[in-house]
């Protein structure tokens, strides 16, 4: 089959490789001038600090100091180590800086002869199905037998609205447009969000700001935070002061949202899928719309170990296109999706967390492997994943410096 892969980040690159292994013809369409996707750091920021309506969308959300929150032996694709025998160096930090991840992806693209398949500076503006196949429009119109959407989901900021926000006259920005703490020197800064970026940015801001007010819910009693955590704020009063339950109103200079991102597919018609409240619907196994089984979304799940998950999703789709395995009926796939939605709506999980896998990621990956005849995850993977997660939960500010007993097949020497 002739397949278009949209995006040359980690998901797009590994999808291209898996398709080639199944003898499909591949064309990667990348809107920027290089591989790497979200791992391509840009020092510039958007002219809209909240990222709602910028003149030019900047794809990456990398702040200058960002290091992975996973050890590189977990980050690696399953058969391409993150060391000198694969796409990295043995002596790199176990939790590498973002520049090292980009170098790893560049090496992956080179070593698997993917770079020559990429059409750079090609922004896809329309994808639709007609009698001739999948019509994909960028700078030109081309037809394909199948399409893999690998455009990432860390570019369009998601920010909650706060009551009384018009009364606040200070700086408001999303972490998407945060690069370093220098602009906040000697300021009082509130940080909203306690996931990976919120933890990193709050800690980093504390090195230059006069005070950091970190709002991210109740503190985990077993965690070690140098900064106290406050409840999420109610909004601003008429004097532009931040109001947090249980605390007096406080005047702040800046507010940083670390509140995640939207899924967005502006090139697809809503008749194919919708992305409402961060739930992409309808998708079977978080990958394909039942009525369009030659269209795949690779890399939607989050709170996951991304690269191995991308790899197995890509392998599952590539082998599906080769008829190595088959799908249930369209009706059965739609029913499976509805059953899952009902379970979410009647449980404690919010609809916007539909693609949040967390503890379910390893069974999910192994289920895809079983369906497409691939090997399951190696035994070390789960042991290391659990140990790394426990280190992060128990010491979320310093877990990257914690020694881990378990290891994968990536060589880890003393850090540089």
Looking at residue 105, what is its pLDDT? 98
For the chain, the straight-line distance linking the first and the last C-alpha, in angstroms and rounded, comes to 45
Q: Which of 260, 197, 258, 231 is nearest to 65 (CA)?
A: 197
Evaluate whether 30 touches 8 at the Cβ level (below 8 Å).
Answer: yes
Report the pLDDT value the prediction gives residue 220, as an integer from 0 to 100. Answer: 54
**pLDDT of 18 higher than 70:** yes
Residue 131 pLDDT > 70: yes
pLDDT (tens digit, 9 = 90+) per residue, 85-101? 999 999 999 999 999 99
Q: Which H/E stretch holds residue 274? A: strand 274-276
Q: How far is CA 318 from CA 37, 82, 109, 312, 393, in A?
A: 21, 24, 18, 10, 36
pLDDT in tens, 25-72: 999 999 999 999 999 999 999 999 999 999 998 988 999 999 999 999
pLDDT tens figures, 243-300? 999 999 999 999 999 999 999 999 999 999 999 888 999 999 999 999 999 999 999 9
Q: Is the pLDDT of residue 409 over 80?
A: yes
According to DSSP, the β-strands at 295-297 and 146-149 are parallel
- The C-alpha torsion from 279 through 284 and 286 to 291, rounded to 10°, is -70
What does pLDDT average to over the chain? 94
pLDDT of residue 92: 97
- Mean pLDDT score, 148-161: 91
Buried b / exposed e across 183-219, counting CB within 10 Å, b at 16+? Answer: ebeebbbbbbbbbbbbbbbbbbbbebbeebbbbbeee
Residue 240: the pLDDT is 98
- pLDDT confidence of residue 223: 61
- 313 Cβ neighbours under 8 A, 6+ residues apart: 11, 15, 286, 287, 296, 298, 299, 368
Percent residues over pLDDT 90 in the chain: 86
Confidence of residue 160 (pLDDT cuts 50, 70, 90): confident
- pLDDT for residue 221: 46
Over residues 102-131, the mean pLDDT reads 97
How far apart are alpha carbons 265 and 89 in whole angstroms? Answer: 36
Q: Within 161-305, where are the H helices? A: 196-205
pLDDT number for residue 350 = 78
How confident is the model at residue 218, as a pLDDT? 61
Which residue from 159, 161, 156 is spatially nearest to 57, judged by alpha carbons? Answer: 156
Give whole-number Cα distances, 234 to 160, 228, 247, 311, 371, in Å: 11, 18, 11, 42, 47
Q: So what's the pLDDT on residue 278?
A: 86
Residue 415 has pLDDT above 60, yes or no: no
Q: What is the pLDDT of residue 224?
A: 66
* pLDDT tens-digit series, residues 192-235: 998 889 999 999 999 999 999 999 866 554 466 778 899 999 99
Cite the DSSP H helix spans in 76-225. Answer: 98-111, 196-205
Q: Summarize pLDDT for 286-337 with one digit per residue, the tens.
A: 999 999 999 999 999 999 999 999 999 999 999 999 999 999 999 999 999 9
The predicted structure's pLDDT at residue 353: 84
The pLDDT confidence band at residue 374, using thresholds 50, 70 and 90, is very high
Q: Is the pLDDT reported for residue 73 higher than 70?
A: yes
């Amino acid at each position: 089959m002739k397949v278009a892969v949209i995006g040359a980040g980690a998901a797009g690159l590994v999808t291209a490789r898996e398709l080639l292994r199944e003898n499909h013809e591949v064309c990667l369409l990348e809107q920027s001038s290089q591989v790497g996707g979200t791992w391509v750091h840009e020092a510039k920021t958007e002219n809209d600090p909240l990222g709602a309506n910028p003149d030019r969308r900047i794809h990456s959300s990398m702040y200058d100091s960002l290091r992975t929150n996973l050890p590189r032996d977990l980050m690696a694709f399953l058969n391409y180590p993150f060391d000198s025998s694969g796409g990295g160096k043995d002596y790199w930090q176990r939790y590498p800086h973002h520049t090292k991840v980009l170098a790893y992806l560049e090496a992956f693209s080179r070593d698997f002869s993917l770079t020559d398949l990429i059409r750079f500076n090609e922004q896809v503006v329309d994808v639709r199905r007609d009698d001739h196949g999948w019509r994909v429009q960028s700078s030109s119109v081309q037809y394909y037998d199948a399409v893999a959407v690998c455009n990432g989901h860390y570019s369009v900021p998601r920010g909650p609205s706060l009551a009384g926000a018009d009364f606040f006259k200070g700086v408001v920005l999303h972490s998407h447009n945060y690069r370093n703490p220098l602009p906040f020197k000697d300021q009082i800064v509130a940080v909203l969000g306690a996931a990976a970026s919120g933890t990193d940015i709050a800690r980093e801001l504390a090195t230059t700001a006069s005070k950091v007010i970190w709002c991210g819910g109740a503190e985990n009693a077993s965690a070690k935070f140098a900064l106290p955590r406050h409840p999420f704020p109610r909004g601003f009063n008429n004097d532009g002061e931040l109001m947090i339950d249980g605390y007096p109103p406080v005047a702040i200079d800046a507010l940083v949202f670390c509140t995640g991102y939207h899924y967005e597919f502006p090139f697809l018609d809503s008749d194919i899928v919708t992305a409402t409240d961060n739930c992409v619907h309808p998708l079977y196994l978080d990958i394909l719309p039942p009525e369009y089984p030659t269209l795949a979304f690779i890399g939607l799940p989050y709170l996951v170990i991304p690269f191995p998950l991308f790899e197995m999703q890509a392998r599952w789709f590539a082998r599906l296109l080769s008829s190595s395995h088959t799908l249930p009926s369209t009706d059965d796939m739609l029913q499976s999706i509805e059953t899952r939605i009902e379970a979410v709506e009647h449980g404690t999980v919010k609809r916007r967390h539909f693609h949040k896998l967390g503890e379910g990621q390893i069974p999910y990956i192994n289920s895809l492997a079983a369906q497409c005849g691939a090997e399951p995850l190696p035994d070390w993977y789960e042991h290391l994943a659990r140990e790394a997660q426990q280190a992060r939960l128990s010491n979320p500010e310093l877990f990257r410096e914690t020694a881990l007993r378990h290891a994968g097949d990536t060589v880890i020497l003393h850090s540089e």
